[in-house]
Amino acid sequence: MIFKIFKNFTIALTAILTFLSTFFILNISIAEEKQYFPIASSRVGPYSAMGTGYYGAQIDYMNYVNMNGGVNGVMLTWQECETEYNAVKTVECYQRLLEKDGQRIVVFDTLGTPGAYAVINRMAEDNVVLAQYGYGRTDGADGRVWPWVFNAASHYWSQIAVKMKFMAEQEGGIDKMKGKKIVHLHIDSAYGREPLPAMRSIAKDWGVTLVEISIPPPGLEQQSQWLQIRKEKPDWVTFWGAGSGMNSTAMTNAARVAFPRDRMMYVTFGAAEEDMYPAGDAAKGTYAVANALPGDNFPLVAAIKEQVYGSGKGNLADESRVGSVYWNRGLGAAVMWIEALKNAQEMHGKVGKAVTGAEFRDGYEALNMTEDRLNEIGIKGMVAPFSISCANHEGAGKFAVMQWNGEKFEQVTGWEAPLDPAYIRNLVEVSAAKFAKENNITPKTCP
Amino acid sequence: MKNNKIFMEYNKSDIINFLLLMLIAFVLIPVTVKSGYWYSSILIPWLCLALASIGQQIVMGYAGQLALGAAGFMAAGAFACYNLILRVPDIPFFVALVLSGLIAAAFGILFGLPSLRVRGIYLMVATLASQFFIVWMIDKFGWFKNYDSSGIITAQDIVIMGKSFTSPMEMYLVIVFVVTILTLLAVNMARGSTGRNWMAVRDMDIAAESMGISLLRTKLQAFAISAFYCGVAGALFAFTYLKSLEPVAFDIKLSFKILFMVILGGLGTINGAFIGAAFILLFPVLLNSVGNNVFHGAIDATIISSIEQVVFGVLIIVFMIYEPLGMAKLWENLKFKVKNK
C-alpha cells in the first residue's frame, strides 16, 4: 500500500518536473532587441544581507533602465541563480546562466572573491567580462594579462594601502608607524587573504609588525582569536570578514576584550548597516572604507525609489534598504554595466542592437566616468570619478573612510588614493607577470 | 538465501545492462549532448561525487565504519595531483591520478587507525581529524600551493599522450573512463572475498574475528581503498569541474554531502552511490532552475531561494520515512515490479 502511494507520488513528481523543465528549456523568445544579464545572487545563508542588497540594486537599476526605454531601445533581461556565496555553486550558476534564448552573457559578477577565482579562467575562452566591483583577484587589474577581468572600482590592495595611509595619518606620520603592530584578522578564504601580499610589503617598508590571524568560515566563533589579539596588544586591527554574523561578532568580541572600536578598520564588503546593527552599541566608532558611498539623496537613487518602488516593482522587500551600503554598491556596479553597454553599442555601430561579449569588453574598457558623466547619471559623489584603460583595469583606486556613529555611517575623509599608487601598481604587475609566466600567457601590448 | 547467487558470478542480464550502460555513456551521450552546461555542470560533478560516494560507501556501507572526512581525502588527492604534475616533469596524467589516489590512501590508513579502538559515532568524531588536518596542512604550508599568494591555484590542463583534454566533452570522457574502471573494481571487490570480509566485520566484528578475519587488515584496507577512491575523485573534481584548487572547496560541508549521498542512495550498494549523488547534487539545481524560471518575477526571489531549501529538506525526510534503505532499494523494487507484471 505504502509503496503504491509512494510509487504514484514519484511518478507524479517526475511528470511535474519533466513538464516544468521542458517549459523552461523551450522558453520561446520574442523578436525584440534584448541584452541578457546574469544575476548570480546569494540570497540565503550567512551572506544574504550582502547578496539581497547588491543584486537587488542591480535588478532595480535594470528595471529602471527598462522603464525609461532601455539602452537605446535595447531592453535588459536577466536570469537569477542562487550561489549561496559558494565557489562550487558559482561555477554551476555560471554555466547555467551562460546562455539563454540563444544569447550569451556579456558580463559576470560573482560578488565574492572565492567565486571569482573559480570562474576567472573561463572568461577569455567564453568571451565574458568578469566585473569584480571592488573585490576579486587583484592582479586582474593588469589588463595586459587579464584582458577580460576588471576590478573597477578599486581593488583590495589599494584598499589596504588607503587604510594604512589613514592609520599613519592618525598616528602622526609614516615615521611614527615604525614599531607599531597591526593585526589582520580575516576569514580563512581567498577573500580574507587577498590583501596580504600588499599589506606585508608595506608593513615591511614601514617597519610595522604584521600579525595574521585567520577565522574559519562562517566565522561565528572568534573567542580564541580575540584572546590572541588581547595578548598581542595591536595598535590597529584590519578586519576582513564576510556575512553579518561574522562581522557583528567581531565587534561584540572586541568590546569584550576592550579593544577600542576606533582602532578597527573594516573591509568594504564587511561593513554595511546590516553588519553594524546586530552589534548594537559595540559597533560605535568602527571605521570602514567604501568604494561607493551609502545614502539615498543621490538623484538616481531618488529616481529609482520613485519610479521602480513607486510602481511596486522594487526588488527589495524592505524599501528602507534602498540607499544602504550594499544596495548603492550594487547600483554602482550596474551603472558600469549599462555605461559599458552604451559604449559598446556606439563603438561598434550597433546602437539599438544587442552586443557580443567582445564588443561589451571594448565598451567596458572605454569607460570614462568623469565628474560630469556621474552628474548626468545622478550619482555624483557616490563613487570616485575614474576611467579604465587597456592596461589599467582598476579604475580610480580610491576609497573614502567612513565611521559608524551607532545609526549610520559618517564620511570621515574624501576619496583617498594610496600614498604611492605606482608602488601598488608595481605589485599588481609583478603578480600578473608571475601568473602569465606560469600559465604561458603572452601579455598583450597596449597602445 | 535466495540472493546467494549475486555473489561471484554475473548472469546474462548483468552483462547486457553493462554493455548498454557503456553504450549510453561513451556513444549516446557524447553524440547527443552538445551543451557544455550539461557536461561541465551536471555530468562531470555528478560522476566525480559519485566516485567519492563509492569511497564513502566502501568504508561506511560495506565495512560499517562510520567515517566522516571524505572531503579531506578528496583535498589530499587533488593537491597531490596538482603537485605531481607540477613537480614531476612529463608525468602522464593517469599515473599522477593513481599516485594521488595512493597518497590519499596513505592518509586513509593513518586516519583509519582509530577505528581499531573506537567504533560507531565516536569513530565518526575521530575521523573528523582527517577532514580538518588535511585541509589545515594544505593551508598552513605554502609549498602545497606552490606559494601562491591568494591560496587559490589554477589546475593544469589534462594532457594525455600529448593531447590536451580541455573541452567539457573531452573531460567528461576522461572521467567516464576512470569512473567505469573504478566502479567495476568496486563492484568486484564488494562481491568477492574482500567485500565479504568487510560485511562480516560490519555485521559483527567479534564473530568475524573468530572466523579468522583480521580486523586490523580488513578495517585498514577499507579505509585505504575508500580514501583512494576519494582521492581520485578529488583530483578529478578539481581538475575538471572547479579547474582551480582551493582547500576551502573541500570543507566539512562536502564531507556531509557525501555522507548524505551514501545514506540516501542506500548503504551497502554501489548504484546507491550514483543515485544518491544525483539526488543531493542535482535536485537543488533543478529546484533552483524551476524556481527562477517559472516563478521569475512572480514571487520575491529571496523567498524562492528559501523555499527551494525547504522543499529539498522535506523531500529528504519523505524519502527516509518511506524508504529507509535508500533510493537504490526503491530502484530495485521498481525493477522487480516491472519484471513481475
Structural domains of chain A ordered from first start:
34-155+296-396 (3.40.50.2300), 157-290 (3.40.50.2300)
For residue A147, pLDDT beyond 60: yes
Instruction: Please report how many Cα atoms fall inside a 13 Å half-sphere around the Cα of residue A84, on the Cβ side.
Output: 15
For residue B15, pLDDT beyond 60: yes
Band the pLDDT of B6: cuts 50, 70, 90. very low
Contact call for A217 and B152, based on CB within 8 A: no
The string of pLDDT tens digits covering residues A202-247 is 999 999 999 999 898 788 889 999 999 999 999 999 999 988 889 9
Give percent of chain B above pLDDT 90.
41
The string of pLDDT tens digits covering residues A406-429 is 999 999 999 999 999 999 999 999
For residue B46, pLDDT beyond 90: yes
Among A49-58, A65-74, B144-153, B238-247, which is the least confidently predicted range?
A: B144-153
For residue B36, the chain A residue with the least C-alpha distance is: A95
Q: Residue A221 carries which DSSP code? A: -
Give percent of chain A above pLDDT 70.
93
For residue B37, the chain A residue with the least C-alpha distance is: A95
For residue A22, pLDDT beyond 50: no
pLDDT of res. A30: 45
Among A16-25, A42-51, A100-109, B243-252, which is the least confidently predicted range?
A: A16-25
Nearest 5°: CA angle at A108, between A57 and A338? 55
β-pairing verdict for A181-187 and A236-240: parallel
Give percent of chain B above pLDDT 70.
95
- The mean pLDDT of chain A is 89
Q: What is the DSSP string of B274-299?
A: HHHHHHHHHHHHHHHHHHHHHSTTTS
Which three cell numbers mark B78?
A: 587533488
Which three cell numbers mark A85?
A: 556565496
Residue with more model confidence, B28 or B150: B28
For residue B214, pLDDT beyond 50: yes
Contact call for A87 and B302, based on CB within 8 A: no
Band the pLDDT of A15: cuts 50, 70, 90. low
Strand partners, A78: A37
Distance from CA of A373 to the nearest CA of B (A): 32
pLDDT of res. A293: 94
Q: What is the mean pLDDT of residues B260-267?
A: 90
Nearest CB to B241: which of A3, A20, A91?
Answer: A91
**B160: helix, strand or coil:** strand
For residue A28, pLDDT beyond 50: no
pLDDT of res. A25: 47
Residue of B45, B294, B314 whose CA lies nearest to A80: B294
Residue with more model confidence, A34 or B244: A34
Which three cell numbers mark A230?
A: 588581547
Which three cell numbers mark A102?
A: 540563444
Q: What is the mean pLDDT of residues A304-324?
A: 92
B interface toward A at CB cutoff 8 Å? 36-37, 40-41, 45, 139, 149-152, 154, 241-244, 246, 248-249, 251, 285-286, 288-290, 292-294, 296, 300-302, 305-306, 308-309, 322-323, 330, 333-334, 337
The string of pLDDT tens digits covering residues B80-132 is 999 999 898 889 999 999 999 999 999 999 999 988 888 888 998 888 888 88
pLDDT of res. A23: 46
**φ and ψ at A15, to 5 degrees?**
-60, -45
Band the pLDDT of B302: cuts 50, 70, 90. confident
Tell me the C-alpha distance between A67 and A71, whole Å: 10
The string of pLDDT tens digits covering residues B158-170 is 888 888 888 889 9
One-letter identity of residue B37: Y
For residue B79, pLDDT beyond 70: yes
For residue A315, the chain B residue with the least C-alpha distance is: B300
Among A416-430, B15-29, B90-104, B281-295, which is the least confidently predicted range?
A: B281-295
b/e sequence B79-114, b meaning 16+ C-beta within 10 Å: bbbbbbbeeeeeeebeebbbbbbbbbbebbebbbeb
Contact call for B302 and A52, based on CB within 8 A: yes
Q: What is the DSSP string of B106-118?
A: HHHHHHHGGGGT-
Rounded to a whole number of angstroms, the distance between the first and last alpha carbons of chain A is 76
Q: A93: how many CB neighbours lie within 10 A of its CB?
A: 29
- The mean pLDDT of chain B is 87
pLDDT of res. A443: 92
Q: What is the mean pLDDT of residues A380-388?
A: 93
Nearest CB to B154: which of A82, A99, A121?
Answer: A121
Residue with more model confidence, B36 or A154: A154
Q: What is the mean pLDDT of residues B199-210?
A: 92
CB A119 within 8 A of CB A148: no
**φ and ψ at B153, to 5 degrees?**
-110, 155
CB B320 within 8 A of CB B279: no
Counted across chains A and B, CB pairs separated by less than 8 A come out at: 114
pLDDT of res. B148: 73
Nearest 5°: CA angle at A359, between A357 and A364? 90
Band the pLDDT of B1: cuts 50, 70, 90. very low
For residue A278, pLDDT beyond 80: yes
Residue with more model confidence, B33 or A362: A362
Q: What is the mean pLDDT of residues B301-307?
A: 79
For residue A182, pLDDT beyond 60: yes
Residue with more model confidence, A406 or B293: A406
Q: What H or E segment, with its residue span, contains residue A103?
A: strand A103-104
pLDDT of res. A8: 63
Structure pTM? 0.84
Contact call for A80 and B301, based on CB within 8 A: yes
pLDDT of res. B237: 94
Residue of A309, A321, A237, A267 whose CA lies nearest to A113: A267
Q: What is the mean pLDDT of residues A347-357?
A: 92
pLDDT of res. A118: 86
Residue with more model confidence, A401 or B307: A401
Nearest CB to B293: which of A27, A91, A95?
Answer: A27
Categorise residue B83: left if φ over 0, alpha if ψ from -120 to 50, beta otherwise: alpha
Q: What H or E segment, with its residue span, contains residue A50?
A: helix A48-67
Tell me the C-alpha distance between A152 and A47, whole Å: 22
pLDDT of res. B217: 93
pLDDT of res. A29: 41
CA distance readout (Å), A301 to A36, A64, A223, A272, B328 = 23, 10, 40, 17, 55
**ipTM field:** 0.77
For residue B302, the chain A residue with the least C-alpha distance is: A43
Tell me the C-alpha distance between B61 and B63, whole Å: 6
CB B201 within 8 A of CB B218: yes
Residue at grid coordinates 535536485: B283
Q: What is the mean pLDDT of residues B310-335?
A: 86
For residue B36, pLDDT beyond 90: no
Which three cell numbers mark A45?
A: 545563508
Residue with more model confidence, B245 or B4: B245
Which three cell numbers mark A214?
A: 585567520
CB B115 within 8 A of CB B65: yes
Among A344-358, B110-124, B145-159, B258-272, which is the least confidently predicted range?
A: B145-159
pLDDT of res. B81: 95
For residue A161, pLDDT beyond 60: yes
For residue B7, pLDDT beyond 50: no
Rounded to the nearest 10 degrees, the angle between the axes of helix B70-87 and helix B93-112 is: 140
The string of pLDDT tens digits covering residues B52-64 is 999 999 999 999 9
Domains of chain B and any CATH numbers:
2-268 (1.10.3470)
Q: Name chain B contacts of A52, Cβ cutoff 8 Å.
A: 302
Q: Name chain A contacts of B312, Cβ cutoff 8 Å.
A: none
Residue with more model confidence, A251 or B292: A251
Tell me the C-alpha distance between A395 and A379, whole Å: 16
b/e sequence B221-240, b meaning 16+ C-beta within 10 Å: bbbbbbbbbbbbbbbbbbbb
Distance from CA of B316 to the nearest CA of A (A): 13
The string of pLDDT tens digits covering residues A87-112 is 888 988 998 899 888 899 999 999 98
Nearest CB to B302: which of A21, A43, A194?
Answer: A43
Tell me the C-alpha distance between B23 and B29, whole Å: 9
Which three cell numbers mark A245?
A: 554574523
Band the pLDDT of B2: cuts 50, 70, 90. very low
Nearest 5°: CA angle at B177, between B171 and B180? 135
Interacting residues of B217 by C-beta distance below 8 A, sequence separation 6+:
none
